[in-house]
Structure 1
Amino acid sequence: MELLHITLIAILIVFLCGVRGDGTVPLPKLERNTLATLGDRGYRDSRRLDCGLWNIELHEFRSSGHVYDPSTVLTTSNFGKYPYDNIAMNRQHGALVNGGQGKFSFAELKHTDSQTKKVLTVYALQVDGTGSYAYWLPQGRSIDIPARPKHGDAKFVFTPNFGGCSWTVTPTRYGKLRLRHVTGNNETYEFNNLDVNQKGGATTYALQYKDYGYIKEGNQYVENSHAYAYMHYNNGWKLHVQQKTCTPNGSPSLSDVPQYGKIQKLKFNYPTETVLQTRYNQITKTTVYRIPIP
């Protein structure tokens, strides 16, 4: 009888929290089909995270020569272990500026810390004519993708990194999902003021700044988290989010192959090693959201 009681409690918790046995949680539904704006975008009683940005160190990550297919590198435990970055895509002028399908791969880049001798690894998305098809969703724009892809359709959606933006998913009447990468502080113009047809429908699900922009210390929210996110179709569309603290900023060096522009190296301005190693893990959390499809 006691075992039955425990089982019923476990089922109730799963029901209330929305967590499935596969570890996914439902992508939040927007109330009134409207994104949060201004002060409502975050937690008012939060404090800003001190990342030691006054003492930055320049790290140069060089390509290891290994190139990975998205389905290989993203569906492994690597996503929870190593940071991912889309910064090179933002610098490849003319590469799918309006969104749509392209061919992509991931470059593996490594840096050996001069003091600790620890090898740091970053995976970076790049345009690659020999890679796999996927969708690219530019910041400030929208694309439509099949709600239920057929055999041979692209199964991944990539978009720029998140540092205040929102990712909206709206099921349409035509068997499509309308995706938007809404720029932070532009929620009113890029989403809220659109009519229902422009949004794609009356019901929208979204990843907003509150969902990734904070970590929690005790009972207090601490702000200064960014995110890398992508969508993958595997028994339904799922939004995978890598929440990162003290995120580095950087710039890529691309090869001279104009149609592909493969990454040679990335230069990152990191916060101090002490901050990263003793106070915060760079990858704070990874979450998988399932997207309801009617």
Structure 2
Amino acid sequence: MDQSMGELMNHTADMGQAQMFSKAWYNEYFRRAAESPTHSRFCEAVYGRDLCQHGMMDTDEMDFLASLLKPGEKVLEVGCSNGYITEYLHQRTACTIRGVDYSDVAIAQAQRRTQGKAPALDFRCVDLIHDELPGGDYDVILAIDSIYFMGDYGATLAKLNAKLAPGGRMIVAAFQAEEENDPDTILLPGHTRMAETLQGLSFRYTQHDFTANIRNHWIKNYEFSRTLQPEFAAEGNEFLCEARMAENGWFKDHAERGTLVRFLYVIDHNPNLAPPGLQGAR
């Protein structure tokens, strides 16, 4: 797991959310979020559109992501939650998208809502660390705010690369925070942990800077979670509000200090990279 995510998880534990980001936690989150009018208002205010989000991608970034996809491409989305963003991308691009996530509640919601759109949209419950990713020969693999949870960046990128068709690409969104003892350069393009991992594995990539968006996102996230707290409580959904508040204080502090950046990486398939388990083999 990325060091910044480790710091965040320590923070959420201190806030009484020790199980945050577990499968059970996400199941409870999406079970409640799908039925919460206040959560819908929160998403509209913070992200610019209500797609039942739990992540960092605002509408500017989402529309830019859609512009990178081509009609008819075969796409795997790793960490699709309950599929609203997946469905939006499909509508915008006419891609065929398979979404995978380890929350069975979120996947069941996506399957019920989109059952009339199969096989163009397909959702499966997959543990991103322990299970084999389904299918292969994908034109594009999306990992938007999910790669932090899949273990070591290098091993994860090799795992995803092995599922690409020749000439395919990965699109990965990742934040980087500067913590104590981090080098002064860690927030610079080409020097984040993700960028250095890509360079170490000889990936060709381009990166797009969404730092201003993420800083603005977390300041709004902090503000509206507190503004809407009474309405979440009136619904009996204190859990949703407390979950947001457990993480957004940490992010807001970094945003206001200028120690938080975010890049969207478009990564070309590397045909010379050995699949996981074979790296270093002779």
- Tell which has more relative contact order, 1 or 2 (C-alpha 8 A, sep 6+): 1
After TM superposition, the score normalised by the length of structure 1 is 0.30
Larger radius of gyration: 1
After TM superposition, the score normalised by the length of structure 2 is 0.31
Which has more strand, going by share of residues?
1
